[in-house]
Structure 1
Amino acid sequence: MKLSRIIEVLDAEVYTHCKDLDMTFQHGKASDLLSDVLRFPAENSLLLTGLMNLQVVRTAEMLDIKGIVFVRDKKPSQGIIDLADGLGIILMGTRYNLYKSCGLLYHYGLMD
């Protein structure tokens, strides 16, 4: 699924610099437990989470995850935004909860 479509489906706000709206994601990973994210890595994944700290970005870096969606209208701090921007990780936020966000993305074609 293209990044531009993800933004549209989730009515997401983008917090980092984003130059490639045609970037595609094949899989979605959703968890508030980073240990679960580490257990099941998948190439070309988008991470959806309600967890809001620097470790989320560091975990994404380790797994080469290029996009993170913060759910429940949570806004990242400037430190989190700066870290993600420096690593080339796109940060987005949506007002939807984790369940609805995953359901919408799955409905429109993002695989688990």
Structure 2
Amino acid sequence: MTVREVRDILGARVLVGEDHLDREVRSACGSDMMSDVLAFSKDHSILLTGLCNAQVIRTAEMLDIVCLIFVRGKKPDEAMLQMAEERGLIVMATGHRMFSACGMLYEAGLHSGAI
């Protein structure tokens, strides 16, 4: 699945990385706890979170996460968006709650992969 398809499924707004929407993603992880993301996230994945701080960008960079999606209408500040852009991350925002957003992606065929 591509990030563009993910955007369309969630009706998300692209905040940074519009020119990278054709990147492939293989799995998704939804969490507000970065320790869980570090433990369970896979390469070429999407991170769905409601946590809006710089640690999210740093965690994504360490794990080769392709795209960050902020749920529940959360919007990162300009400093976070600048950090993400410098690192080549795609950042999107959706009004869906995390549970709903993860369910929509799962239903469309994007899974978490084996632990």
Q: What letter is aligned with 1:15?
A: L
Q: Counterpart of 2:68 in 1: which secondary structure?
A: strand
Q: Distance in 1 between matches of 2:15 and 2:21?
A: 14
Counterparts in 2 of 1:61-80, with a 5 A limit?
61-80=61-80
Counterparts in 2 of 1:1-112, with a 5 A limit?
1-112=1-112
Q: Distance in 1 between matches of 2:41 and 2:10?
A: 23
**What root-mean-square deviation, in Å, do the aligned CA atoms of Structure 1 and Structure 2 show?**
0.8
How many residues align structurally?
A: 112
Aligned structure 1 segments of 4 or more residues deviating by more than 3 angstroms: none
Q: Distance in 1 between matches of 2:17 and 2:69?
A: 14
Q: Distance in 2 between matches of 1:85 and 1:34?
A: 20
The alignment-based identity, stated in percent, is 42
Q: Distance in 1 between matches of 2:67 and 2:23?
A: 10
* Runs of at least 5 residues in structure 2 that lack an aligned partner in the other structure: none
Q: Distance in 2 between matches of 1:17 and 1:66?
A: 10
Deviations 1:38-73 (A, max 9, x none): 111311110000100000000000111110000000
Q: What letter is aligned with 1:24?
A: E
The TM-score normalised by the length of structure 2 is 0.94
* Runs of at least 5 residues in structure 1 that lack an aligned partner in the other structure: none
Q: Distance in 2 between matches of 1:41 and 1:47?
A: 8
Q: Distance in 1 between matches of 2:40 and 2:94?
A: 24
Deviates more, 1:92-101 or 1:39-48: 39-48
Deviates more, 1:37-46 or 1:27-36: 37-46
Q: Distance in 2 between matches of 1:103 and 1:73?
A: 17
Q: Distance in 1 between matches of 2:71 and 2:2?
A: 19
